[in-house]
Structure 1
Amino acid sequence: MNALRVAWSATDVTAKWSAIDALIPCYLGLHEEDTLLLGEAPPCARVGRPVRPVCIPPADLPKRRAVDREGRAALLHAIAHIEFNAINLALDAAWRFSSLGNRFVRNWLGVAIEEAYHFRLIHARLEALDYRYGDLPAHAGLWNLAEQTADDVLARMALVPRLMEARGLDAMPPIFRSFQAIGDKPTLRALAVIARDEVRHVAVGDYWFRHLCQSGNHSVETTFRALIKKYNAPWPRAPLNEAARRAAGFEQDELMALRG
């Protein structure tokens, strides 16, 4: 599937979009009985991404509040950065862990296609403010986790979709309130699409994490907590978006444990 390799490697934003578009027929036509010859994925550090934004430590990023044009742009840029990384994360999972089978590959290709749509929605809102992706600094925390889990699909499923992307579900209500306060209806419509789809993306990761735990006879909750500790990943912050997390597959007992 050369289209996947091209999409993973594309560095320019427009080239990434075009490559994702070219993946759609492959995604729609992929069946479980098909034979995929993807080859070994390159090191995560070689993934295609633009020269900008410049990545700095998360603690050095200014706080983002949608109270003025610059604040709105900063918040939208942060969301765009998350979505661009999410494209690469989904493509990387599909390629790097393709030995799990065509259903796994198809799941993550579908996620990549939707993440690219999310990026376009947010980038359009940035452009309305005369900004572009790359104009502001960002951080590489999410992709750093991808590099750390390149040889462990169980850890990847735990720490990327089930931890970091689920934290995105928790962040969505206050982000909505920020844009509601200024009456930015076009951005709210874009965020509504993203909020809906991200529940499904977390659910994909939750499904495969549970599948892998079951295959290895591991406890879901104990393994999840152990992997967070092993990789020194950030613990979920309160308040949790429990409705979205339940819709994505989290069970009530686990949510209670995450609340501490």
Structure 2
Amino acid sequence: MITRRTVIASSLALCATSAIAAAPARRGRLKQSVSRWCYQDMPLDALCAAAARIGLDGIDLLQPAEYAVPRRHGLRCTMGYAADIMTIPNGLNRRENHAAIERAFRIGIPQAAKAGVPNVIAFSGNRRGLSDAEGADNTVAGLNRLKRIAEDHDVTICVELLNSKVDHPDYMADHTAWGVRVAKEVASPRVKLLYDIYHMQIMEGDLIDTIRKNIEWIGHFHTGGVPGRHNLDGTQEVDWRAVARSVADLKFQGYFAHEFVPVGDPLTALAQAVRTCTV
């Protein structure tokens, strides 16, 4: 099982110029970024330098203390953490968490705005016996406490959809329909879904049609090969070029962030993913 907390250690070639040269900067119609945790053995400055040469637009999932680093390389942090108190199992679906989360967001969202970070991540939390309907109601109530802060600072809160089948047992926001219900009821341009393609392929499949029908509620994408959350290559089941093209055809203006644990040379894998999704 691969999660942000249990990353497979890989030998990172910090000077992998061959990988970088293999993918010259190409923008295409999607703004692509890469998740920091997948390259945690590489210094952030080195990752940013490589990402800039590969042609990425930013780095995903940084802490506030790291927000300034991508700017030194002409990049931006594309999604940040605004509230460490909110975790994957312990999130917005419990009303007793709302006050502490709100206090954290009143600090974290202005920090993100000041640093030019457009998105911050949020989690539903685990069910722990709570019905999906009650959990959705609670999550809506929590986001209603946060949305004005986000609106006032032009920062988007993205609630991540994760699989509960393989990586995150009991996680509540494990289907698109649940997330869309929440987003619709909150009804804020600054509250969206983080549609993680890896996770939703495991839970639902039917990626392209689901994305097309729900794009107005999606603020951010994550990638990752299925099965295994590894490279976007022929060893897994998603047609990434088709998915990327469908997202671009919808004129999506957010970020398409790579969140897979690379196999083999890490920068070669990243460059390949960028090429595949440059449409």
By the TM > 0.5 criterion, same fold?
A: no
TM-score normalized with structure 1 length: 0.27
Higher strand share: 2
Higher relative contact order (CA 8 A, sep 6+): 2
Higher helix share: 1
